[in-house]
Each structure stands twice: as C-alpha cells, then as structure tokens.
Structure 1
Amino acid sequence: MSDMLDQLVQLVRENAQQTVVANPAVPNEQNDAIIGEASHSIAAGLQDALASGNVQEVMGLFNSNGQVDNSNPLVNNISGNLISSLTEKFNLNSGTAASIAGSLIPAVLGSLVKKTNDPADNGFSLDGIFSSLTGGSTNGVNLGSLLGKFAGGLDKDGDGDVDMQDLMGMISNGAKQQQSNGGLGGLLGGLFGR
C-alpha cells in the first residue's frame, strides 16, 4: 500500500494549494502533516469501506466520472474522519477543519477517479487500488467472490473463479463499446447496476 499511499500524498498535495498551503488558518509548519493526514484519511476510509464489505459504495465512487461531493456516504465518512483528526491532532477549529475536509476530500477523490478511469494515465488503476487496499481480499473474503455476487457470469478467463483478472479483461474488452457511455465509469456502472 506504500506505493499507492505515496501517489495519494502527491495527489493530495496537488489539490491542497488553496485549501491547506495558502490557508491562513493553517500554520505553515503543519502543511505537510495535514497533507499526510488527508492522504491517510482517504486510504483508511476506502480500506474500511472494503473491509466492511461495502464494495458497491467504493465502486459507485469510481463510477462518478470525477464528480464527487460530500453527499456520498463514503465521502462523508472520509471527510468526517479528517475533520476529527484535524481538530484533535492539529488543534484546528471545527469550522476550519470542516472547510478543509469539505473542499479537499471531494477534490482529491475526484482526481483519483479521473486518473483511475483515464486509460492514458497509468499512475492509478482500479486493480492496483483494490490490491493495495485489500491485498486481494476484504477481511478474509476473496474480492473476486464479492464481485461475483454483484455480477454473475464474469469468469472471462475460464479459471473457475471471478477475480480482478476477469474484471480487468472485461473492462479492456468492453472499453471500446463503452467510450460513448462514459468510459470505464459507464462500464462499471452497468456492471454494478448503477
């Protein structure tokens, strides 16, 4: 997960200029620590959602075409955790913490979704994110079997199970047909009934 976390920190840094770095309510010596905390909150929030079996919530996020807002329960949870961290660890007032989380978390998740769904950008991949967050499983439950619950008949490689290779094969085979319907997000949306 460290590679993904490093990439996530860079993504947060790219989105934190106004919200954190140029924010007069944030002491300059805390900028890097707050960026790190925001990165950790995002990774932990996604990891917790997967560990709790909320695969549909996470997949729904990646079906958002980068339009992410705080009304999404997953985003709301990640933002809430960051607000708690900012007030407890960095002694920011709750208004400042809420403003930072409310702006930064949707922006970073939106960038993450766009980069993941962009075939020209190999920095993030859905397979890589899931593998980093779960090690291929969620709390001892094989991710492939969870995917199988949401979409039967996906054993594209004929190996007797539905796994990330099947999903990625389906995505690459269906990408041409789905370009007019929203690319990878449209394909995943169809897959998970969203």
Structure 2
Amino acid sequence: MFEQLTQLVQQYGNSAVVNNNAVPNEHNEGVINEANSTIFSGLKKIASEGGAEQLAGLFSGNSPIDNSNPVVQQITQQLQGNLGEKFGLSSEASSGVASGMIPQILNSLVNKAKDPNDSSFQISDIINSISGNSGQASGIMDTISKYGMQFGLDQNGDGKVDVADVLVVTKSKGGISGFIGKLFGSK
C-alpha cells in the first residue's frame, strides 16, 4: 500500500509542491516524501487511537473528503507542522501545501479503493497496513460492517456482514470486488 500511496502523493505533489514558488526547489523531493510519510503515519495514528469510526466514515465515503473531514484535518495539521519544522516553510506555505494535497490524495485513495475495476488498492489491505495489529483491523472492519448493515449488505440475512455475505456476493455478483463495490456504493 505504501508504494501506491507514494504514487498518489507524487501525482498530486506536482502542483502543490513542484509548481509552488513558496517551496524552494531543493526541498521539492523532501516535501513530497514528508507528505507521503505523514499521511501513512497519520492514518496509523488515528487507527491506534481508536479512530475506527472516523476511518470507516472516510473509507465508506459517508463523509466528504475535504478540509471539514476530521481525518483530513488531523493529517493536514500534522503535515503543516512537519513542513515548517523540517523545511523552514512559512505557516502560510505549509498550510497551502498540506491543504492542497491531503484532501486530493485521500479522496483519490478512497475512490481507488472503492473502484471494483482498480485492483491497485484494496480496502482490506489499506486497513491492515494502517492498523498494525489484527485487533485494530478487526475493529475498523467491524465498524465498516456496521455501515454495511445500513446499506443492505447482509446477503444471507444472519444479522451481520461477514465472510458468508462475501461468499454470497462473490458467487452471484462479480466476486470480491463486487462486494467491496457494493459496500462502498459502486454500482
């Protein structure tokens, strides 16, 4: 997942960093690398601090992925501080870079995870990468499952969204990507 995230950061870093006169050219690569590690560590921190509800909301697409989203806000603030501290960027420049990149990158990450035709990002891989341990991963997946109940994903009527429901969907509706697509609202 880290490699795919790096690609997204580089993609969105061009306009927010490389073409930004407030970021000295000698810091372009460092700023992009810092954005990458801050996003990954920020998601891990949210997971470790019990932010399953926030992460589930982010990955389910139930909350807008913009500067009003608490996950986006937390990671944006962390990146702003890191850029000022490590590269001496002004608070205005740090804020511009962070708020220009973080929402776009997270939005793209979620959209790729929701896209059944894009196998480069899988929601379970993302959750496992950021959770660090199975207890956290299962907690986040339980929260996503709760959202799944709200969206009618209980395929076998047993009162929970679990592997059995995935099997029902995979046999009848386009495999695991069909289930993930249905979970996140893709048609």
TM-score range, shorter chain: 0.7 to 0.9
Preserved CA contact (<8 Å) 1:171 1:184: no
Cα distance in 2 for residues equivalent to 1:74 and 1:171: 30
- Residue 43 (structure 1) aligned to one of 40, 45, 53: 40
Cα distance in 1 for residues equivalent to 2:172 and 2:78: 37
The corresponding residue for 1:161 is none
* 1:154 is aligned to 2:141: no
The corresponding residue for 2:154 is none
- Residue 82 (structure 1) aligned to one of 69, 79, 84: 79
Q: CA deviation at 1:54?
A: 1.1
* 1:52 is aligned to 2:49: yes
Alignment-mate amino acid for residue 103 of structure 1: G
Q: Pairwise mapping of residues 45-124 of structure 1 onto structure 2 (< 5 A)?
A: 45-64=42-61, 67-124=64-121
Deviations 1:94-136 (A, max 9, x none): 0010011111000100110111111111111101111112244
Q: RMSD of the alignment, in Å?
A: 2.8
Aligned length: 168
Cα 1:66–1:154 shift into 2, 3 Å: closer
Preserved CA contact (<8 Å) 1:175 1:183: no
Alignment-mate amino acid for residue 89 of structure 1: K
Deviations 1:64-85 (A, max 9, x none): 2895111111110000000000
- Residue 143 (structure 1) aligned to one of 132, 137, 154: 137
Q: CA deviation at 1:52?
A: 1.3
| Structure 2 segments unaligned to the other structure (5+ residues) | 147-158
* 1:126 is aligned to 2:123: yes
% identical equivalent positions? 37
Cα distance in 2 for residues equivalent to 1:79 and 1:107: 11
TM-score (norm 2): 0.78
Q: Aligned with 2:118: secondary structure? A: coil
Cα 1:142–1:67 shift into 2, 3 Å: closer
